[in-house]
Structure 1
Amino acid sequence: MRALISVSDKTGIVDFAKRIAACGWDIISTGGTAKALREGGLDVKDVSDITGFPECLDGRVKTLHPLIHGGILNIRNNPKHQEECQKLGIENIDLLVINLYPFKKTMLKPGVSFQECIENIDIGGPTMLRSAAKNFNDVTVVVDPKDYETVLTEIEQNGGTSYETRYHLALKVFTTTANYDTMISDFLRKQSMEQTQNKEDLLAQNTVTFTYEKVQDLRYGENPHQRASFYREIGEDKGTLVGAEQLQGKELSYNNINDTNGAIEMLKEYTDEPTIVAVKHANPCGIASDKTIAEAYHKAYEADPTSIFGGIVASNRPIDKATADQMVKIFLEVVVAPDFTEEAKEVLAAKPNLRLLKLDDILYSDNGFELKKVLGGMLVTERDTELYNKLEVVTNRKPTDKEMEDLLFAWKAVKHTKSNAISVAKNKCLVANGPGQVNRIWPMENCIEHGGEKCQGAVVASDAFFPFDDVCTAAAKAGITAIIQPGGSIRDADSIKVCNDNDIAMIFTGMRHFKHA
């Protein structure tokens, strides 16, 4: 029996080889692996001794030879294969232990050159792995050091591995090589985008492949009867939840992760002033900006003290003791911020289950794509990173400077609220939010009912145009003084008339912000 061993990650490989050799197996190897095994006291035959051909082209060509792949791919119970192998001098290779050049590690190194990444694309490794995995009925293939012990135990006890083990290991190989090739494809695509600024590069492809790595298994999914895991993109995690450091609290749940991601996405809209975003069930239930983060939190809380209970809070400034003193008065699930002062951490430690997440680059954002799985397919779209096409005053009265400030504040909030959405704001504070209705008047009525007197002198933002003038009529009755919306309805004139009749300023943005999931 013969084993071919060639690994970049040499963890545990000498011990593995010693135990295989003790079972009477011959070992073939190459390059650094052969050197490590010999230094470990093992008798190793070089690949070049098998092929009769030296390694060449700076090691780019070593194992791509019929005497190697024939030994792997021949079907043991196929008489024709065996006759050919005997005629050509091909000997069986029954076990492959291979892991690949560290492309991911190389790709993620700061300042790494493009050429260094290219040189760390493994060719022979994936080829041999796929050969062995294809012929798993006869060949055992190991790509993950975690499987060493399973394989060793079976060989030591039974002289070989079971069909079930070989099948499982072959599946892992094809998953690994698919992941590896997808990383390379994604790397090259991103390089192309950086060089050409071609945002449509991915969407122009007829096929797309994505790869993610597991961060953790979750206790359950959206509901307790659903299984779930959390995966991360391979690459830059700056400004993303996977890049956060958890300082205290319970393990994040599926809904915690989803809602916290939504809070971070919203927070990225508010960069200029200390701002708090509070989220409940993926919708903003409190947003406020002020001179200090403590004042911003107070405003956000007072705007809706009921909904923020059990919510997610995101801050674009470090959390200080004054803010923490307010936070511990209620139940919160998660607080995410660029940092926490030592005094704040001491205060928040009184709530040991509260999850504190430190995210250094919380305001960092870049262009990318959103994926949504649907039955039988996948929707892929560019992320919604823009705010408006224009700011066109369409009424007789222009908004005041203060109204304009609040209009843009509300426009950012409604952009991240489930459609149909209405957001009401005053003094850079979200005073009422109406998300996720099947028509546009209901969220307006919900805002008026919830906001009450706070709607007097406030402004309204709508994520899409008004098909009728009913929203403007309701806004006028509630004391709303200014409105921002995309415009573009065939009945825009009706809404403009209602606003003019009630001295309401209205702005069209020329851009809608539907959010359906």
Structure 2
Amino acid sequence: MSDLMPVRRALISVSDKTGLIDFARFLESRGVEILSTGGSAKAIRDAGIKVVEVADHTGFPEMLDGRVKTLHPKVHGGLLGIRGNAEHEAAMAEHGIAPIDLLVVNLYPFESTVAKGAGYDECVENIDIGGPAMIRAASKNHAAVAVVVDVEDYGVVKAELEANNGATTLALRKKLAATAYARTGAYDAAISQWFAKQLGDTFPRRVVVAGELKQSLRYGENPHQAAAFYVTGHQRPGVATAKQLQGKELSYNNLNDTDAAYELVAEFDKPAVAIIKHANPCGVAVGSDIVSAYKAALATDPVSAFGGIVAINRKLDGATAEEIAKLFTEVVIAPDADEAAVAAFAAKKNLRLLVTGGMPDPNEPGMTLRPVAGGYLFQTKDNGRVALQELKVVTKRAPSQQELEDLLFAFRVCKHVKSNAIIYVKNGTTVGIGAGQMSRVDSSRIAAWKSQEAATAAGLAQPGTIGSVVASDAFFPFADGLLAAAAAGATAVIQPGGSMRDAEVIAAADEKGLAMVFTGMRHFRH
């Protein structure tokens, strides 16, 4: 049998009617008989295109509020019957089943119904039954039947029919079948996740991860690795919703770092800027406005900021853009940007400017996923926050009001720094960051050293760690890390507590005159 299969009859049933009329008119022009249902049939008929109602084709009326219309042997037999199989063809002839060569179906909008916050009953009514059943049937019989589930594929099918005198190739039908099964898989995944959420089942017996290709990337973390960017049905403001206003194509590392930067800057209500390098912050600050916050964040570590990612939690203005443009920056991401900001970056052809349309909610529940050999690790997103009244003062001296504000700021930044994490902060600005070390004392020393380097480069008499506060993402197992912070000039400490040597660490803090608070919550980030 030739791999070319002529299309003589098509069944169209779509909820998304984008491009429907043009495609139906094209099929009619090629002499294809069009079967259709409900709103699709009406739209086609209203356009003056000949269409046969599925109810007329099957001789069975649409019923139960539309729940039963395509679940009929004349539909599924027409899709599943094997061409060239004598037994199948005899059965189809006996029962008056006409072959269907092309199926065009997109499903009830379950995902968007859930996304808009619809009630339980409305969500259930938007679970498609007939659509997935037809898609799976047509895909199984791809040796003869072409199935289209995405409006983006109308053009591909039209081009193939034109090139092959009204026939499709086996290669295309296989590709369309693969796309179709992926669609029904993603659809069922969305439904199962919704049900689990309704039941309060965080970790159901089976879990399916689904996404839609947004961008094929040049390569992954390194040039020898292939990569692509997929987005989920839940469009959290950020890299998935971002519109790129200018700059060259985003890379895998750009996307990863930009996501980390935007999630960090979303933690703060005041105007805030975060500068990220290799998924770790090298400077974070809040200020009375964005430009002052940017200057303060940059001062933390201007050397590491070179070639970094800048995230902003306010509309980007021209003054801030002009400051950012003074340093080589890979990506700037903000909820919006004014005309002056766009103009300020116009000469920086390689700089990517992204606007997202909003800020992500740091308190929104979610899941993180990490692959391991043979499986995945799932966990709930770290959206833990410590409130002022939850802090436990464990030293003889209590922190001052300014120290308390800085301690809470530092601990919030800690959540976004690779462990072991040590963060020095003064007046709402990071002044030293130590990240990703195997030893907590090394993180403390590195942060202090980088602060001294920044001060020397800026011509300052002393580093920013003098008179700062310090945050640790987990408890100090020994007093050495705390003593290193004291030697750097820190006056107050925030840490989870819970070490067997807490008493030793508290005693060391008291001896150095430090104020220290325990949070009872740690923020490991591996």
Tell me the TM-score range normalised by the shorter chain.
Answer: 0.7 to 0.9
2:376 is aligned with 1:370: no
Q: Report deviation, 1:384.
A: 0.8
Does the 8 Å contact 1:93/1:139 carry over to 2? Answer: yes
Aligned to 2:291: 294
Aligned to 2:378: 380
Aligned to 1:173: 180
* 1:203-242 matched pairs, under 5 angstroms: 203=203, 205-237=204-236, 239-242=237-240
Q: Tell me which amino acid in the other structure corresponds to 2:211.
A: Y
2:334 is aligned with 1:337: yes
Q: Report deviation, 1:467.
A: 1.6
Aligned to 1:142: 148
- In the alignment, the residues of structure 2 paired with residue 488 and residue 400 of structure 1 have an alpha-carbon distance, to the nearest angstrom, of 24
The partner residue of 1:310 within 285, 307, 311 is 307
Q: Tell me which amino acid in the other structure corresponds to 1:468.
A: F
- In the alignment, the residues of structure 2 paired with residue 323 and residue 503 of structure 1 have an alpha-carbon distance, to the nearest angstrom, of 40
The partner residue of 2:470 within 437, 456, 460 is 460
Does the 8 Å contact 1:370/1:382 carry over to 2? Answer: yes
Q: Report deviation, 1:236.
A: 4.2
Aligned to 1:248: 246
Compared CA separation, residues 53 and 393, structure 1 to 2 (3 A): same
Does the 8 Å contact 1:294/1:322 carry over to 2? Answer: yes
- In the alignment, the residues of structure 2 paired with residue 319 and residue 410 of structure 1 have an alpha-carbon distance, to the nearest angstrom, of 24
| Secondary structure of the structure 2 residue equivalent to 1:489 | coil
Q: Deviations over 1:183-233 (max 9, x none)?
A: 33344445x27xxxx4xx232x10112322222222332223323222222
The partner residue of 1:328 within 325, 328, 333 is 325
Q: Report deviation, 1:137.
A: 2.5
- In the alignment, the residues of structure 2 paired with residue 140 and residue 340 of structure 1 have an alpha-carbon distance, to the nearest angstrom, of 45
- In the alignment, the residues of structure 2 paired with residue 14 and residue 347 of structure 1 have an alpha-carbon distance, to the nearest angstrom, of 44
Aligned to 1:397: 397
Q: Tell me which amino acid in the other structure corresponds to 1:226.
A: Q
Greater mean alpha carbon deviation, residues 432-441 or residues 396-405 = 396-405
Aligned to 1:267: 265
The partner residue of 1:481 within 491, 497, 520 is 491
Q: Report deviation, 1:512.
A: 0.9
Does the 8 Å contact 2:265/2:273 carry over to 1? Answer: yes
Segments of structure 2 that go 5 or more residues without pairing to the other structure are 1-7, 453-461
Greater mean alpha carbon deviation, residues 91-100 or residues 168-177 = 91-100
TM-score scaled by length of structure 2: 0.86
2:514 is aligned with 1:514: no
The partner residue of 2:133 within 127, 133, 154 is 127
Does the 8 Å contact 2:113/2:123 carry over to 1? Answer: yes
Q: Tell me which amino acid in the other structure corresponds to 1:286.
A: G
Q: Report deviation, 1:42.
A: 5.3
- In the alignment, the residues of structure 1 paired with residue 295 and residue 30 of structure 2 have an alpha-carbon distance, to the nearest angstrom, of 71
Compared CA separation, residues 269 and 16, structure 1 to 2 (3 A): closer
| Secondary structure of the structure 1 residue equivalent to 2:168 | coil
| Secondary structure of the structure 2 residue equivalent to 1:353 | coil
Q: Report deviation, 1:360.
A: 4.3
- In the alignment, the residues of structure 1 paired with residue 292 and residue 431 of structure 2 have an alpha-carbon distance, to the nearest angstrom, of 15
Q: Report deviation, 1:135.
A: 2.0
- In the alignment, the residues of structure 1 paired with residue 263 and residue 159 of structure 2 have an alpha-carbon distance, to the nearest angstrom, of 49
Does the 8 Å contact 1:422/1:435 carry over to 2? Answer: yes
Q: Report deviation, 1:513.
A: 0.6
2:112 is aligned with 1:100: no
- In the alignment, the residues of structure 1 paired with residue 339 and residue 50 of structure 2 have an alpha-carbon distance, to the nearest angstrom, of 58
Q: Report deviation, 1:116.
A: 4.4
Q: Report deviation, 1:511.
A: 1.0
Q: Deviations over 1:437-486 (max 9, x none)?
A: 11212111212222234222222211111222211222233332222111
The partner residue of 1:500 within 497, 507, 510 is 510
Greater mean alpha carbon deviation, residues 422-431 or residues 117-126 = 117-126
State the percentage of identical aligned residues: 51
| Secondary structure of the structure 1 residue equivalent to 2:302 | coil
- In the alignment, the residues of structure 2 paired with residue 18 and residue 290 of structure 1 have an alpha-carbon distance, to the nearest angstrom, of 59
| Secondary structure of the structure 2 residue equivalent to 1:241 | coil
Q: Tell me which amino acid in the other structure corresponds to 1:310.
A: G
RMSD, aligned α-carbons:
2.8
- In the alignment, the residues of structure 2 paired with residue 338 and residue 20 of structure 1 have an alpha-carbon distance, to the nearest angstrom, of 43
| Secondary structure of the structure 2 residue equivalent to 1:333 | strand
Q: Report deviation, 1:427.
A: 2.3
Aligned to 1:280: 277
Segments of structure 1 that go 5 or more residues without pairing to the other structure are none
Compared CA separation, residues 144 and 362, structure 1 to 2 (3 A): closer
Q: Tell me which amino acid in the other structure corresponds to 2:434.
A: G
Does the 8 Å contact 1:316/1:363 carry over to 2? Answer: no
| Secondary structure of the structure 2 residue equivalent to 1:372 | strand
Aligned to 1:74: 81
Does the 8 Å contact 1:267/1:363 carry over to 2? Answer: no
Compared CA separation, residues 490 and 106, structure 1 to 2 (3 A): closer
Does the 8 Å contact 1:406/1:427 carry over to 2? Answer: yes
TM-score scaled by length of structure 1: 0.88
Does the 8 Å contact 2:386/2:408 carry over to 1? Answer: no
Aligned to 1:432: 432
Compared CA separation, residues 150 and 433, structure 1 to 2 (3 A): closer
2:162 is aligned with 1:162: no
Q: Tell me which amino acid in the other structure corresponds to 1:331.
A: F
Aligned to 2:455: none
